[in-house]
Amino acid sequence: MDLRVQQKIEQKLSPRMMQSLHILQMNRMELREYVEQEAMDNPMIEYAGAADAAAEAVPLGERGGREGASRPAAETAAQAEDEDLYGYLRAQLDLRALTPELRGALEAVLTGLDRDGYLDESSEELARRAGQSVEAVAAAEELVRGLEPAGVGARTLSECLELQLLRRGAGGLPLAIVRTHLDDLAQHHYRHIAEQTGESVAHVQEACRVIRSLSPRPGAFLDTGGGPVYILPDVSVVREGERLRATALRQTAELTVSAAYEELMKTGDDPEVRQYLRQKHQRATLLIQDIRKRRRTLELCTERVAEHQRDFFRGGALHPLTMAQVAQETGLHESTVSRALRGKYLQCERGVYPLSFFFARALPGAPEGGLTAAAARDAIRACVRDEDKKQPLSDRRIAQALAADGIAVSRRTVAKYREELHIPSAYGRRL
């Protein structure tokens, strides 16, 4: 008999580490709301309140609100005001790399999503509708659940939140709560969750803070009711001579520890009050430290991104870049870089862009530092824009035109990118 012993090592994050990671991955708006709540709960925090958010917010469909601000490539998260969830998800997929069976199953899954990103049909029902196997539908569902935004493709709220936690690399207590204690969470029954899980109430409360930062409607960010979605940029990049300087934009007025309550903590007559204030003092101090650490990490990562994409900030094109490259150059773990940059927006002279926009994929077979797929798409779009509408260019002629400009792509690649850009064939563009 072949007996195998498996050793499982589970790393549990302390509440201190959880709060630090939680703050790191917040965007500016989320951090502002978090700090406002903390200031309400903690007398040790002196906080004059945030500046008017509307004065700084930028419509998601605009690119920074400046004259001549350029539009990012089509695959970016902020690409189109009128795009629906189906189109947003489909644009992330390379359908040509999939089998016909998987493409058929994928179509059924994508069309089966509601506006919030949930599936309300079973795998068997989707398989019958697609005329495909249940196995193919299950593979398609798994593929969709790996797309952005995290949480799409779930069938229940619990599963939706679980997908988001796993995408963040979070597990342990938050994962246990969304799997089995959502009702208690909704009723703020922290003590009951603590009894059921064997954790302290403080640990439970911190885990619930993480869960409440998740989105119960991951697909709803594209449903704007016809109006623009406003965002607060998280970081700015400005040119100072030859240098590109990244500055994390403040989410609030500066936080400080209350001098009056600090004095009361040291000299007060009531021991219970002093103990209470000591606890609040520690929490306030750690919060301030974590916000400063978030700021340093965001600036460090963004400066490396800006250095790699120096040509873009001068009006040129993007270069290929990966999270692993930024992690290596900053000395940070790749998951830390991902948390620091995910869901955040950069403001520069050319407009406002999601930071994910700057992590551009290289064209297949391109040398290191070569042309990106986004640049090739932009070039194809320019060719079609400038063509003779009475004699539109075929895919082969577009490929030849790009080659003359030093952009080596095959006719098949042109056809693929043209379809992703929703540009008709030469026959369909003929006047």
Residues 242 and 259 in one domain: yes
- CA atoms 23, 25, 28, 31: torsion sign: negative
- CA atoms 334, 340, 343, 344: torsion sign: negative
Residues 234 and 215 in one domain: no
Residues 260 and 304 in one domain: yes
Pairing of strands 230-231, 58-59: antiparallel
Residues 247 and 162 in one domain: no
Residues 208 and 316 in one domain: no
Residue 125 lies in a domain: no
Residue 110 lies in a domain: no
- Name residue 354's beta-bridge partners: 345
- Name residue 124's beta-bridge partners: none
Tally of structural domains, the chain:
3
3-state helix, strand, coil split of the chain in percent (to 5) is 55, 10, 40
The whole-number pLDDT of residue 77 equals 35
Buried b / exposed e along 168-206 (16+ C-beta atoms within 10 A): bebebbbbbbbeebeebbeeeebeebbeebebeeebbeb
User: Where among 222, 250, 271 does a domain terminate?
Assistant: 222
Q: Residue 117 and residue 156: Cα distance in Å, rounded?
A: 11
Chain centroid offset of residue 274 CA: 42
Residues 66 and 100 sit within 8 Å (Cβ to Cβ): no
Residues 239 and 346 in one domain: yes
Residue 206 lies in a domain: yes
Residue 162 lies in a domain: yes
The whole-number pLDDT of residue 282 equals 92
Q: Residue 97 and residue 143: Cα distance in Å, rounded?
A: 13
The whole-number pLDDT of residue 431 equals 61
Residue 77 lies in a domain: no
The whole-number pLDDT of residue 187 equals 80
Residues 72 and 79 sit within 8 Å (Cβ to Cβ): yes
> Of 176, 156, 358, which is closest to residue 166 (Cα–Cα)?
176
> Of 178, 175, 151, which is closest to residue 163 (Cα–Cα)?
151
Q: Residue 416 and residue 377: Cα distance in Å, rounded?
A: 10
Domain span holding position 301: 230-358
Query: Is the pTM here over 0.75, yes or no?
Result: no
Phi, psi of 247, rounded to the nearest 5 degrees: -135, 120
The whole-number pLDDT of residue 58 equals 59
DSSP 6-70: -----PPPPHHHHHHHHHHT--HHHHHHHHHHHHHH-TTEE------HHHH-EETTSSSS-TTPP
Look-up: residue for tokens 């620091």? 340
Cis peptide before 100 (omega within 30 of 0): no
Residues 204 and 302 in one domain: no
- CA atoms 324, 292, 285, 27: torsion sign: negative
Here the CATH number for the domain that contains residue 386 is: 1.10.10.60
Residue ranges in the chain modelled with pLDDT below 50: 1-11, 50-54, 61-83, 224, 226-229, 367
Residues 317 and 259 in one domain: yes
User: Where among 202, 222, 242 does a domain terminate?
Assistant: 222
Residue 97 lies in a domain: no
State pLDDT tens for residues 413-422: 888 888 777 7
